[in-house]
Chain A
Amino acid sequence: MPAGSQDSAKRKRASTGKVTKVAKRRLSSDEEAEDLNGKILLMEQGILESKKNYNDIANLLSIASGYEDGEEESTLAAVALCRIFLRLLAQGSLVAKKNQSEKEAVVFSWLKDQYSQYKSLLQDMLKDKDLAVTALTLCMRTLKAEGEHLHNKEEYTFPQAFLEGIVATLITSDSDDVGKAFLESYVEEFDDIRYYTFKSVKTILGRFNKDDIPDGLFDRAFALLSALDGVPQSAEELEDFYIPRPKKKSHNLRSAIQHKRQGQDAWLAILSIVQSKDERKRILSVISTNIAPWFTRPELLSDFLTSCYNAGGSMSLLALSGVFYLIQERNLDYPSFYPKLYSLLDKDILHSKHRSRFFRLLDTFLASTHLPAALVASFVKRLARLSLNAPPSAIATVIPWTYNLLKRHPTCTFMIHRVVQDPELKKHIQDNGADDSFDPKETDPIETGAIDSSLWELVQLQSHYHPNVATIAKIVSEQFTKQSYNMEDFLDHSYASLLDAEIGKEIKKAPVVEFHIPKRVFLPQDEPATNPDSLLVKLWDFGEPANGVAAA
């Protein structure tokens, strides 16, 4: 890691060198520009040589601030200024000394003023699309120098305000490149930058009023934070520092917990600015992989998750895994988890695109053999009922799942095999038919009475039009010899995949042809009395009404 970071640092330097070179080359093409460039270089030289020439800093600043007009020299000036300030910082000219003469104090305060002007200039440049990446590099080099030299060497100080300014600019600007460059070359690379970036994000987001959050702020903040998934687990992992690390071991920067806490705070700040459903869904989709690991106290997420879970629909589906994570890992008390889960089994679930994801989770939730049989039976019955209106791919999922559950909870097998022994009840069934004790309106899965019902729905699906689905449905009435079905084989199907499977097969044998060639396909039969029309002809008008149209 250290080697890598050094490399990247070198690369950075090399690239900045290239920038200057490019700038130089550009100058050579243009006479006038060359003059100006030479002047800039001369000024730089002069400033570095003697304090007398400090006034040129102001000149350079004015040249650099001309970037908005697209003047090329401004870049060069900015680079020259960067070098100047780096030198000055290294010299200690920007550090207040105790016994300064009045004149020196004036120069010092003037330099400081120039320096802060330069910094704000750089931040402004960050907003410019073309110069942003160069400006970022200059910013970060200045940042490094400032961190190293601006204060007393013994005490560790991070130029937090400057970084905050940079991050704020990045978050509010709409240039993606620079954000990405910042993320990849600095935040992901260096632990201290990441630490202070989290901190900055938190304070920046805290500044916004809840009511008027600009568009795209969430997107950029989310993009910035969601890319950071390298959660440090111990202090030893923290070894990449942009600015030499503090010597004190107890410093916050050197504790993994503090890093996590900053991450947690930053994420909480983001959660607080979430507005639209879509944003919530985006957060939910990464919550267990990218967000939860930062949380030293994941229960802080529970408010967000439970509110999402209670929202219903696909939001609940997405929140499900997060809630389950909390229940499992953090002992979150969610008393109505199963009733809520049961309520998720609505008419859309089998048609949802999150179906397979949901079934994977559902399989986990109902994996325990210690669940009450009545509850399991309710889930089975409910899904069986829903599969009466489901696409074939969903039925192909539901049935093996049902099989697995029945195998796991043998008490539930009464739902597919119930011999009535009571003679009175037998007579009642003889006379009135079997009552279905299942109450589909009941929301509590314990109370639905599904355990006393039968799965007639699955039997009906044994005559499903799709041969494979019908075959799968038959497993319910076969002997339960197989231990369990691997759900992964049944989860990811769709009309398209089923159709492709059929079409993809070559015809090897000649298909059977109906032996009887019907006399009429579209038109009504000549003699409807002996030879009734097909359903199609009865219900559809094919344009040529013959004499004997059967009234439907």
Chain B
Amino acid sequence: MAGSQLKRLKASLRDQGITGPQKSKKQRRKLAQDGTARNDKRLQRGVVLEGIREQFNPFDLKHAARGPKFEVTTNKPKTSNASVKGRPGLAKAASEEKRKQTLLVDMQRRNKVGGILDRRFGENDPTMTPEEKMLERFAREKQKTHNKKSAFDLEDDEPMDGLTHMGRSLDFGEEEELADDFQEDDLKDDEDSDGDTREKRLKRLRAIIAAGEEEGGEDGEPERKKTKKEVMEEVIAKSKLHKYERQAAKDDDDDLRAELDKELPDIRKLLWSGLNGGKHQENAPLSTIAGVDRDAFDKNFDIQVKKLAQDKKAQPSNRTKTDDEKAEEESTRLKRLEEKRQKRMMGEEVSDSDEDEDDKKKDTAGGRQEDDEDEDDDDDDDGFGLGHGIKTRPTATELGFDDEDDFVIDDDLVASGSDLELVESDDDFDEEEEDDSDSANQAQVDEDDDDEFTKGLLNESETKDPIFQANFSSKEKSDENGLPFTFPCPQSCAEFVSITQDYDHTNLPKIVQRIRALHHPKLDSKNKERLANFSVALVDFVALPWNAATSPPFSVLESLIRHIHSLSKMFPVEIAKQFRQHLEEISQSRPIALLPSDLTVLTAIGTIYPTSDHFHQVVTPAMLTISRYIGQKVPRELSDYAIGTYLSILCLQYQQLSKRYVPEVINFALNTICSLSPVASSKSLGNFPVHEPSAGSRIQKAKKVELRRLNFSDCLAENSQEGGNALKLALLGTTIQVLDAAADLWTAKPAFLETFSQVVEVLSHVNSKPSKEHLPTAASEKTERLEEKLKRMSRVSQLARRPLELHHHKPLSIKTYIPKFEDTFDPDKHYDPDRERAEMAKLKKEHKKERKGAMRELRKDANFMARENLRIKKAKDEAYEKKYKRLVAEIQNEEGREANNYEREQKARKRANARR
């Protein structure tokens, strides 16, 4: 744009139509007539002028230092007037104006009260008490007067007691003072009538002090100096006044408190009505009544407070529950228990699914070490084991106990044994919650519990009686004489043996029964411990080395095992520990040289504990002990085969319910058949390990030998030597039966074909001609039958076989690494997922901003004050200068005049002299 500033201004004014060619009169009149239009125009004109002014004063506006930035997404959204960032000129002027109105006024009023500079000492010091202020001021004043003393001070000698008239002091001043004081006081009181008393009092106090001060300062001082005595009196009077004031304030407070106390019942009523309904309403009038009498009131108050506290704390959640509710709760509890039981039962029936659950748990942990897994097992086993106990129940009913009582008793025992913990814990729970009225109920429950125990035991012994009577009825009478009714409770196996050695083995169950009855835990508190030791001793007794001649017959062992079984419901830990100790001993001293007594122990374990558990503290080690023997033993003697066969049978019996696969059984059975078969096979018959049989183990020329069953004495090495062909045949026959049972047990296994194809091969080898010649027809028939059966089962299994489809899992989603997008993303906002941190950041930012603003303001204030001070100083200096100049001029003026006068005088004298 060309031209000077002025030219441009003119041009723009013309452009906007503000200046222009002169309008004709006609036009002007027309415009004047149209009032509204004129008004509009004037407004418009103002706007336009403003615009032009802005345009011509670019420094009024603040612009960005650089030109506009490129558009990017994170740019802050622009405000409407993008280019102008602010109007520093205007802002500055506004702030200046504001400061003038506030800060400047403050500055000017500083240290002044009502336009007068307040120089009183300590007036603005809040740390000083009025007395201190007074004393300090007094001291200062004294100092001042003292300093002022000069040698020529005439007033010093004769003290003046105020104005005197004819020697008498004038006391009207004092009266005036008081009058003024009271007037002021009244005035203030009136003003503050609605304020609270305390505030009033403080104000009044201040006013009094101020009044006193003013008088002292304004009235007294110019009048005269107060004497020391006067001043002291004044001070004392003032302090008394303050004291009184404080007293009055305290009284005021007390009054207020009393008033509040009176209102308390109402407040409490208000509180309780919200809290507890109408229950405590009746108490309210009582307390109001008590409120009159102080002691009674206090007492009542304490009681109420205590009640309040107790109320809140001890209020039971179900206290107000009605009977209906309680019944409902009970029913839900039962329902829950029932559901749990149901679940366990399901786990039993489909034991696989239960295991699955266990395993899932383990597998999520991935490749933990086996030890970890073991621990898992340990944790899981309880629930699982419990479930198991119930699982067998339906089978028990299926078995169809004819003796109804027996079954019921068993049920009781189960309840007390397995659910005992549960019941107890529930009772505890109840105890906490129940009121006095329920405690009777509670006691009843306890009693029930105890009853269950005793009843179970008593009933059991009762039910046992007929059995024993049935067994030993012939001996009963004769024994009745020889058998004492009381026995000491044996604490170890040796003791038990020594007690019983005098009696026939057949009496053992009777003795055990009597010991148990005599030492029932209910009879003596120590009996429980004694019985525990006794049960351990019984386990040891069963595990004593077996000998056909001296050991008790199996019918006795059987009933002893049953006794241990029933005792182990009372002492599960002790007996389990003892069994485990036996297993440990076996594994340490004779892992592959088991004794017949070990077989008894293992059998006992199989009946006492639920063998179908996924994991069981006793059964699992026992199972391992068995499989270790039949898996690792290389049979040398026929007795080894016999023990192995017994253990194989036991294995199958352990797995009767859970149908778990035991590879060792197949291995051992097949190896046994191979070793016993009359001729060795030329080729490998399967994947089982074959141990070269010892010489003479093969069945030779036994065409005529009868098939018999195996018995326990076959397990003894010295006996097995003599057995010969009969024993070998018995072994062969039993092994074939074992395989038969195994096939039945594992018929549904997915690899039945692979498992039993080896069996078929071995059997066909035994059935081959060279072997057949040596075997009795009964044995070979048996073999053939089993072979046929297995072939049939194999065909069925083949038909049922399907390719595996194990992995119908939900496909795993691929991990995504795409960040989470905000649809309405705002770069200024913080998307901090941590709420607290976000809030903290927000606060910090705000604080920083405020701080900066405050600092800026303070800086500006300081500038402003400096400017103002400078201005005042300048003004002062200027005034001084002016005055100085004026004075100098005045003096010079006067001097000049005097000089003129002098000269004139001189001239006049000269003239006069000359004249003379």
Contact A459 B804 (CB under 8 A): yes
Contact B661 A539 (CB under 8 A): no
Q: Mark B602-621, 1 if CB is under 8 A from A, else 0.
A: 01100111100111111011
Q: Mark A273-292, 1 if CB is under 8 A from B, else 0.
A: 00000000000000000000
Contact A467 B614 (CB under 8 A): yes
Q: Is A161 an interface residue (CB 8 A)?
A: no
Question: What is the CA–CA distance of A290 and B704 in the complex, to the nearest angstrom?
Answer: 63
Given A416-B804, A535-B653, A536-B603: A522 and B359 interface contact (C-beta under 8 Å)? no
Contact A508 B378 (CB under 8 A): yes
**What is the chain B residue whose CB lies nearest that of A387?**
B663
The count of residues in chain B whose C-beta lies closer than 8 Å to any C-beta of chain A is 136
Contact A489 B687 (CB under 8 A): no
Residues in B with CB closer than 8 Å to A348 are 689
Given A502-B374, A514-B607: A389 and B396 interface contact (C-beta under 8 Å)? no
Contact A495 B565 (CB under 8 A): no
The count of residues in chain A whose C-beta lies closer than 8 Å to any C-beta of chain B is 97
**What is the chain A residue whose CB lies nearest that of B569?**
A513
Shortest Cβ gap from B654 to chain A (Å): 8
- For chain A, residues 469 to 515, give those with C-beta under 8 angstroms from any C-beta of chain B: 470-472, 474-482, 485-486, 489-490, 493, 495-496, 498-503, 505, 507-515
Contact B804 A464 (CB under 8 A): no
Cβ-defined partner of A540 (8 Å) among B613, B627, B686, B710 = B710
Contact A388 B751 (CB under 8 A): yes
Interface centre among A392, A434, A522, A532 (most CB of B within 10 A): A522
Contact B607 A539 (CB under 8 A): no
Contact B367 A468 (CB under 8 A): no
Question: What is the CA–CA distance of A499 and B374 in the complex, to the nearest angstrom?
Answer: 12
Question: What is the CA–CA distance of A503 and B687 in the complex, to the nearest angstrom?
Answer: 31
Contact B804 A531 (CB under 8 A): no
Contact A539 B803 (CB under 8 A): no
Contact B666 A468 (CB under 8 A): no
Q: Is A14 an interface residue (CB 8 A)?
A: no
Q: Is A6 an interface residue (CB 8 A)?
A: no
Given A389-B687, A514-B389: A505 and B609 interface contact (C-beta under 8 Å)? no
Contact A388 B807 (CB under 8 A): no
Residues in B with CB closer than 8 Å to A461 are 661
Cβ-defined partner of A522 (8 Å) among B358, B603, B689 = B603
Q: Is A209 an interface residue (CB 8 A)?
A: no
Residues in A with CB closer than 8 Å to B664 are 391
Q: Mark B745-759, 1 if CB is under 8 A from A, else 0.
A: 000011111110010
Q: Mark B161-184, 1 if CB is under 8 A from A, else 0.
A: 000000000000000000000000
Residues in A with CB closer than 8 Å to B627 are 391-392, 465-466, 495
Shortest Cβ gap from A429 to chain B (Å): 6
Contact A512 B568 (CB under 8 A): no
- For chain B, residues 538 to 576, give those with C-beta under 8 angstroms from any C-beta of chain A: 548, 553-555, 557-558, 561-562, 565-566, 568-569, 572-573, 576
Main secondary structure of the interface of A (DSSP, over half): loop
Q: Is A335 an interface residue (CB 8 A)?
A: no
Q: Is B352 an interface residue (CB 8 A)?
A: yes
Q: Is B21 an interface residue (CB 8 A)?
A: no
Q: How many A-B residue pairs have CB under 8 A?
A: 332
Contact A535 B649 (CB under 8 A): yes
Question: What is the CA–CA distance of A512 and B418 in the complex, to the nearest angstrom?
Answer: 7
Shortest Cβ gap from A498 to chain B (Å): 6
Contact B558 A455 (CB under 8 A): no
Shortest Cβ gap from A374 to chain B (Å): 17
**What is the chain A residue whose CB lies nearest that of B604?**
A521
Question: What is the CA–CA distance of A515 and B607 in the complex, to the nearest angstrom?
Answer: 10
Contact B754 A463 (CB under 8 A): no
Residues in B with CB closer than 8 Å to A505 are 374, 378, 617
Q: Is B821 an interface residue (CB 8 A)?
A: no
Q: Is B584 an interface residue (CB 8 A)?
A: yes
- Which of A194-202, A219-227, A541-549 participates in binding chain B? A541-549
Q: Is B385 an interface residue (CB 8 A)?
A: yes
Q: Is A436 an interface residue (CB 8 A)?
A: yes
Residues in B with CB closer than 8 Å to A470 are 355, 359, 614, 660
Question: What is the CA–CA distance of A416 and B381 in the complex, to the nearest angstrom?
Answer: 30
Q: Is B638 an interface residue (CB 8 A)?
A: no
Contact B572 A502 (CB under 8 A): no
Q: Is A272 an interface residue (CB 8 A)?
A: no
Residues in A with CB closer than 8 Å to B401 are 531
Question: What is the CA–CA distance of A509 and B651 in the complex, to the nearest angstrom?
Answer: 25
Given A455-B804, A515-B410, A539-B649: A389 and B663 interface contact (C-beta under 8 Å)? yes
Given A502-B374, A511-B572: A433 and B799 interface contact (C-beta under 8 Å)? yes
Contact A417 B750 (CB under 8 A): no
Contact B373 A434 (CB under 8 A): no
Residues in A with CB closer than 8 Å to B893 are none
Contact B663 A517 (CB under 8 A): no
**What is the chain A residue whose CB lies nearest that of B795?**
A433
Contact B553 A543 (CB under 8 A): yes
Contact A434 B802 (CB under 8 A): yes
Residues in B with CB closer than 8 Å to A485 are 367
Given A501-B371, A522-B557, A544-B555: A479 and B812 interface contact (C-beta under 8 Å)? yes
Q: Is B333 an interface residue (CB 8 A)?
A: no
Q: Is B814 an interface residue (CB 8 A)?
A: no
Contact A510 B573 (CB under 8 A): yes
Residues in B with CB closer than 8 Å to A390 are 663
- For chain B, residues 347 to 369, give those with C-beta under 8 angstroms from any C-beta of chain A: 352, 355-356, 358-360, 362-363, 366-367, 369
Contact B624 A495 (CB under 8 A): yes
Q: Is A18 an interface residue (CB 8 A)?
A: no
Contact A389 B689 (CB under 8 A): yes
Residues in A with CB closer than 8 Å to B410 are 515-517
Question: What is the CA–CA distance of A461 and B662 in the complex, to the nearest angstrom?
Answer: 9
Given A389-B666, A468-B374: A542 and B711 interface contact (C-beta under 8 Å)? yes
Q: Is A385 an interface residue (CB 8 A)?
A: yes
Q: Mark B365-390, 1 if CB is under 8 A from A, else 0.
A: 01101110110011001100110111
Given A456-B804, A499-B621, A514-B607: A471 and B591 interface contact (C-beta under 8 Å)? no
Q: Is A415 an interface residue (CB 8 A)?
A: yes
Q: Is B809 an interface residue (CB 8 A)?
A: yes
Cβ-defined partner of B620 (8 Å) among A351, A456, A502, A523 = A502
Q: Could you write out 9 A-B pairs with CB less than 8 Å apart? A: A463-B661, A465-B651, A467-B614, A480-B807, A481-B812, A512-B418, A512-B572, A542-B711, A543-B711
| Chain B contact residues, CB within 8 Å of chain A | 352, 355-356, 358-360, 362-363, 366-367, 369-371, 373-374, 377-378, 381-382, 385-386, 388-390, 392-393, 396, 399-402, 406, 410-411, 413-414, 417-418, 467, 548, 553-555, 557-558, 561-562, 565-566, 568-569, 572-573, 576-577, 580, 583-584, 587, 591, 603-604, 607-610, 613-618, 620-621, 623-625, 627-628, 631-632, 646, 649-656, 658-664, 666-667, 684, 686-690, 708-712, 734, 737-738, 741, 749-755, 758, 797-809, 812
**Closest 3 pairs between A and B when the two form their complex, measured CB to CB:** A512-B385, A515-B414, A510-B572
Given contacts A418-B803, A539-B734, 14 further A-B contacts (CB under 8 A): A348-B689, A392-B624, A416-B804, A460-B752, A467-B377, A467-B620, A477-B806, A495-B627, A499-B621, A507-B617, A511-B616, A518-B562, A531-B399, A535-B649
